[in-house]
């Protein structure tokens, strides 16, 4: 068995996967037709160009434009449930055994859904997917930087009823330059009091200092991306010494211009220096990728060994927000499968 076959066979997990960026293009097109949503073309291959970002985006803005149509088809309960279910089915084919899905409930209320209805729909699709495909999944509720601090508090309060019933954490995402993390400190303090896990998008678009702020003031346990930690020695040392896991997303980091090329990506340097790195997809549809492709790029473009991949996978398992019961199950499962390829 060659390395590519081994990569496909390895047990995997994904801690940073946006629901709105990981919808099957054919599903987007079908719902757009049903709902009379303008969708440019009925030809699927041509349509993909409107929901998948090019490998060479001109800017982050161009990348984010791909979400406009996807969000428009995620405004009904049956569609959210279907999309979540299909995502679980898709990742099961990549040997992903654990998935953390994140979505912002307030983005899905334009069609009359309530906050509770949107969350319930996604959880129903996830539970159906676990039953049919055996993939364990948990949901992370995203708070948006450009929303008011009061709206973030509202999301935490409304989300409490779903805590440990499929919802495990909150996240902060959005415009990092104009809305610093501390604006939403109160919501994260309340979430911590309730028992939510916390992750924060930080250090993705060139402000590495946001990583320290996210950890110290928002009590972040993990950092979404954090790719720019190396640009500030104090931040780099902080991440390393505190053992803060980074949710790195190779392809999207290139597309959004966070990093100029695969060869320039710091993930291998981080791993070799003892920083807790994980490898994730971010947006499978928008980035036109999956976790198998991400692992293959780690090997072919960045020089990862199979042992490096194993370390990254185990980092992800220990950094996950899975229950201890699920972690124990996954440890046994992963170790059994690793023995096949790492027995020597």
List the Cα angle 308/311/317 in 5-degree steps. 145
- Ranges assigned E (strand) in 7-130: 12-18, 96-103
CATH of the domain at 285: 3.20.20.140
Query: What is the rounded distance in angstroms from the CA atom of residue 307 to the CA atom of residue 310?
Result: 5
Query: What is the rounded distance in angstroms from the CA atom of residue 69 to the CA atom of residue 80?
Result: 14
- Say which DSSP state 158 is in: H
pLDDT the model gives residue 343: 63
Query: What is the rounded distance in angstroms from the CA atom of residue 276 to the CA atom of residue 270?
Result: 8
Cα of 228 vs its chain's centroid, Å? 17
Residue showing tokens 């008011």: 148
pLDDT the model gives residue 324: 97
Half-sphere exposure of 31 (CA within 13 A, CB side): 20
Query: What is the rounded distance in angstroms from the CA atom of residue 226 to the CA atom of residue 163?
Result: 26
Domain count, the chain: 1
pLDDT the model gives residue 188: 98
Q: Which two tokens stand for residue 86?
A: 């299909």
Q: Which two tokens stand for residue 119?
A: 């969350």
Per the DSSP assignment, residues forming a β-bridge with 152 are none
Query: What is the rounded distance in angstroms from the CA atom of residue 270 to the CA atom of residue 326?
Result: 28
Cα of 144 vs its chain's centroid, Å? 15
pLDDT the model gives residue 3: 82
**Digit-coded pLDDT (tens) for 174-222:** 988 899 999 999 999 999 999 999 999 999 987 999 999 999 999 999 9
Query: What is the rounded distance in angstroms from the CA atom of residue 319 to the CA atom of residue 222?
Result: 8
pLDDT the model gives residue 1: 66
Residue showing tokens 């929303």: 147
Active site residues: 204
Nearest to 210 by CA among 157, 140, 161, 145: 145
pLDDT the model gives residue 2: 79
Residues 171 and 101: beta-carbon distance below 8 Å: no
Measured CA to CA in angstroms, residue 288 lies from 232, 281, 284 at distances of 31, 10, 5
Question: Whole domain around residue 220: which residue ranges?
Answer: 3-341
Residues 190 and 213: beta-carbon distance below 8 Å: no
pLDDT the model gives residue 87: 98
Query: What is the rounded distance in angstroms from the CA atom of residue 197 to the CA atom of residue 248?
Result: 18
Helix axes 115-133, 149-159, angle to 10 degrees: 50
Q: Extract the residue ranges of the chain whose pLDDT is less than 70.
A: 1, 343-344
């Amino acid at each position: 068995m060659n390395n590519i076959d081994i990569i496909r066979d390895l047990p995997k997990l994904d801690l940073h996967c946006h629901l709105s960026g990981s919808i099957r293009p054919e599903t987007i097109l079908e719902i757009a037709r049903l709902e009379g949503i303008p969708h440019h073309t009925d030809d699927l291959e041509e349509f993909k160009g409107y929901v998948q970002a090019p490998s060479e985006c001109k800017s982050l803005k161009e990348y984010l434009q791909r979400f406009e149509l996807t969000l428009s088809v995620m405004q009904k309960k049956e569609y959210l449930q279907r999309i979540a279910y299909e995502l679980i089915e898709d990742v099961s084919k990549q040997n992903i055994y654990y998935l953390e899905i994140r979505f912002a409930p307030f983005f899905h209320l334009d069609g009359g859904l309530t906050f509770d209805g949107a969350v319930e729909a996604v959880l129903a699709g996830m539970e159906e997917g676990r039953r049919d495909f055996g993939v364990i999944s948990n949901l992370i509720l995203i708070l948006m930087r450009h929303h008011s601090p009061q709206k973030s508090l509202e999301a935490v309060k409304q989300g409490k009823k779903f805590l440990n019933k499929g919802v495990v954490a909150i996240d902060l995402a959005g415009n990092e330059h104009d809305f610093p993390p501390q604006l939403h400190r109160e919501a994260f303090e309340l979430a911590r009091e309730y028992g939510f896990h916390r992750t924060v998008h930080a250090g993705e678009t060139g402000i590495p200092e946001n990583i320290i702020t996210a950890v110290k003031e928002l009590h972040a346990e993990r950092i979404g991306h954090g790719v720019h930690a190396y640009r500030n020695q104090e931040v780099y040392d902080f991440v390393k010494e505190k053992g803060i896991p980074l949710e790195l997303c190779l392809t999207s980091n290139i597309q959004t211009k966070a990093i100029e090329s695969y060869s320039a990506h710091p993930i291998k340097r981080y791993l070799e220096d003892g920083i807790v790195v994980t490898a994730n997809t971010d947006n499978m549809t928008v980035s036109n990728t999956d976790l198998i492709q991400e692992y293959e790029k780690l090997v072919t473009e960045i020089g990862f060994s199979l042992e490096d991949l194993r370390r990254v996978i185990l980092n992800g398992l220990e950094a996950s927000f899975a229950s201890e019961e699920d972690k124990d199950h996954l440890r046994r499962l992963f170790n059994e499968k690793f023995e096949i390829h790492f027995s020597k």
